[in-house]
Structure 1
Amino acid sequence: MGCSSSFPARNTSGLGNLNVSDATVSDSKNLKVKLVLLGDSGVGKSCIVLRFVRGQFDPTSKVTVGASFLSQTIALKDSTTVKFEIWDTAGQERYAALAPLYYRGAAAAVVVYDITSPESFQKAQYWVKELQKHGSPDIVMALVGNKADLHENRSVPLQDATEYAEKNGMFSIETSAKTANNINQLFEEIAKRLLLRTTSSPSS
Structure 2
Amino acid sequence: MSATSPVTADFSSPPLKRSKIVLLGDQSVGKTSLITRFMYDTFDNTYQATIGIDFLSKAMYLEDRTVRLQLWDTAGQERYRSLIPSYIRDCSVAIVVFDITNRQSFLSTSKWIDDVRSERGNDVIIVLVGNKADLSDKRQVTLEEANAKATELNIMFMETSAKAGHNVKSLFKKIAMSLVGMEKEGEAAEQQNTKIDVTSPTTNEVPDASQCNC
The answer to whether the superposition gives a TM-score over 0.5 is yes
Give SS of 1:203's match.
helix
- Equivalenced residue count is 177
Give SS of 2:17's match.
strand
Query: Could you list the per-position Cα deviations for residues 9-63 of structure 1 after superposition, in whole angstroms to 9, with x for gaps in the alignment?
Result: xxxxxxxxxxxxxxxxxx9894310110000000000000000011111111410
Match of 1:203 among 175, 187, 190: 190
| TM-score (norm: length of structure 1) | 0.82
**Does 2:126 match 1:141?**
yes
Deviation at 1:167, TM superposition (A): 1.6
| TM-score (norm: length of structure 2) | 0.79
Match of 1:105 among 77, 80, 90: 90
Deviation at 1:203, TM superposition (A): 3.5
Which structure has the larger Rg?
2
Higher helix fraction: Structure 1 or Structure 2? 2
**Does 2:70 match 1:81?**
no
Match of 2:38 in 1: 52
Match of 2:55 among 49, 63, 69: 69
Q: What CA RMSD, in Å, does the superposition of the two structures yield over aligned residues?
A: 1.6
Unaligned runs of 5+ in 2: 1-12, 192-214
Match of 1:182 among 147, 153, 167: 167
Query: Could you list the per-position Cα deviations for residues 73-117 of structure 1 after superposition, in whole angstroms to 9, with x for gaps in the alignment?
Result: 1111x2411111111000001111110111111001100000001
Query: Could you list the per-position Cα deviations for residues 102-151 of structure 1 after superposition, in whole angstroms to 9, with x for gaps in the alignment?
Result: 11110011000000011000111111111111125320111000000000
Unaligned runs of 5+ in 1: 1-26
Query: Could you list the per-position Cα deviations for residues 172-192 of structure 1 after superposition, in whole angstroms to 9, with x for gaps in the alignment?
Result: 000000010000000011111
Give SS of 2:190's match.
coil
Give SS of 1:60's match.
coil
Q: Residues 106 and 136 of structure 1 are in contact (CA less than 8 Å); yes or no, is this contact kept in structure 2? A: no
| Percent sequence identity over aligned pairs | 39
Query: Could you list the per-position Cα deviations for residues 145-164 of structure 1 after superposition, in whole angstroms to 9, with x for gaps in the alignment?
Result: 00000000000011111111
